[in-house]
Structure 1
């Protein structure tokens, strides 16, 4: 965050009432709205890591794109590698000029993962290419008796030429009965026939054989001559590439399954199902990290999603004990199941674990794929946590942590009304407004005013019971919902609250204008079928009646009476 020439802070995205804030908050990645006249910024919650690019002199690459977009009056897109606190990140940046006047909208799309995956794939393929050894061709001849009579001087497959001469080819061929005829004894010309053979060191080699028989002048076959080429490395490379391609397809299927989920909270369930199916596992469990309270805080895990059947009842602490120094895949046999687990990482921090189980052993390809999937889940978990954080911020008051007006009116009260319609219980709505609060700010300053707000908030927490609801409606106005309270109980409770509120007088702006509260009360009875709007209006009117009279008191609104339905 920096300040413009007028000294005012840049707009924050949580100001949902501003058009700028509403514009950038709906974008799922980093978004920045730059006012070219005032040099002020409006950012969303994803833009924290790139805000430094706009501080002082804007990043040269972004400045050049901004000039181009403004001069041409059109959208400009580019792929840029930009510095962030976490290191260099590859972004696709889209610039939209003339937004809400003379402002430029920057939309960032993180392509680092895709870029890294492509680089990793290229590196992997290059590695396999480099591992291919120069073809080790050797020539040979088999005599009339079916034994080698000649082998190239350099030998073959680790054997010296003298070690092969006099031996029959089938002695070093793996499963010679599968060949009809054996290529080294063919009566016809052959080309590029693959044969698996034993190496001198006990290993196996895939050899491509090309041969031609030769005869005496009278047509009597004398023997067979040919050449062999060791293609073991090529076959291994082809197999490895096929496995890598298969892993890419499986990983792509899982990533697309996650991305297809509109609701972020459903991502992990979709990932668990897709992973179990793709890897042939009996089941999959995804766990998210939680943090213990207290001085000895440590990572704990809670189940976030699960798919499949069977599996261990639970995983021991040792199995889930990953650390930043040892964030590696782990395998164990638990209750007869072969369990494999890997930590999910985001930004180098462990935020979850994926575990899969089946009866059979896991292959090397499985292990590589689990690590790839865990990295993707680390990103998904971070996205879910960001989504949950945004939801919490949208429902709570920043200063007190209480429900805000929208959450209280639009979510909490309708839910309470629906429940009371079933159990026919009563409830009471308390409207609370602080008396002489303005004088506290005028005399002692806004910090003292904030202290008064927090003090009242703490008093209300001490006043309510479990299950009751507190909301800060804005400024010095609060609301309480008390379950199971009728008119008589509401009066007693309000008197008790007024007595507790005397502690606020220590924060008064002047002795003649003591800081206190006024309370308006409306009791809801479900049998009266009172609309929510009517209940709010009755409580509000009762509170203002106190304000207009004595302050520092309460007023119980008259019971709701439904208006007769007059037919025209």
Structure 2
């Protein structure tokens, strides 16, 4: 069988291996009193309940064009309907609309076996289509019989429809049943043009002036209160004794509440399925960032949307996951400013932002909370060519808000634990383990770069042990913390300050020249002087020895060697200070100068 859409050909074996559910096992669908079946991307029936036999036979024998179009629409994420869908002895006739079928000669029309009101829904994330059918065969046959003899079945007709009518050649009502229709009284409709009830889309295809005859087709009309009303309309053309067309006679049944109920049921089923998928992701994915990325991927086709942006908020906003088209994050601040305790959603249509960035998409954002506190925000974009965000969309998103709030809280805890494991608890600087991981990653990333120079500073506090012994460990901790604060305040944003342990510190300065590195070290030592010159510590003669190694990432064999070389430079500075040969307290050398400007300490001297 040919595929429903380009690039959508999927074999039955592949579909079976994809975990497609057996519809008969889904209780909520099995209880449906009408026909239910699932069709895959190739148009093959995967599963059907006991009421869908005729529909399955018709599809297997050769899929009519209107069913194929409806399946294509559902696979693209839209809900489609065929009302009515006729099943005939010859499947070719099933592809005709009822009005078109009525134009054919009686001898050419085939026997109709059944008629259904059908709805086509996206299923399993767009991999298949759920077809729901309500058998209207009995209703259809009854109405066809009633229209043939208005006088004989008038009482039954009044009970079977909301109002019956007759129009003249100008489309004006010449008869309406006494109780009127569509919130109009009979007196208001008689003499009025039938165009009064038509939306703009039907003005050129007025069913009240149809010469072809209409058999229980569905239309959306406008009632006296300017509300949209869904009606089933049956009509036959009238001819005078000369065989000339004289008008139309028919009746209407208001099925608005039925359609709304069906849509609500379909939406509720879709919301439950989306929530179920998100809960499954939350159960199976332990790493919070990957979990939130998977949820964003899930929302893209489920809502549907063209972009999904998830942000976490603690002290500042952080992008956690983004899929689909780009969203200008400047809209996040606008959304946050609009979201209050009483307002959980923020929407902005594309038409309200003409001439601005992102003017080609409709935006919606909703806040996420955990135990009453806002901890994140989700923003979704939809192309301006598609429907704006409505209450139905918000109902689906409302259904998942609490789950996303919990997921974002888990992400926040994960980040906090990750931060605690990567930092020194006393000073708040990166610890040795996280530094080695970051330095190793940096060297790997820049391994082919033989041009850019970087500086690794290795620092050791002079006479710290004596000060710690003399003034106590509490004062020693304060010295280390003050040193760390000065260090953080005097390095660049892209630099990496680290406490290796004890009184040893390092700083990785990326992409810096030797002259600039020397200036940074001089400024750092000068900034540290007030810490060392405090009255309490002056007697301890605190100081710092700084060894700097200029290097290129492509020339380094291992991070252990790099740290060892910087340590050698630092030790040479410390030794020179003790010998009175260097009062600057620092030295910066390159790999080439390492052997000539440093000395290796004897074992036990370090």
TM-score using structure 2 length: 0.47
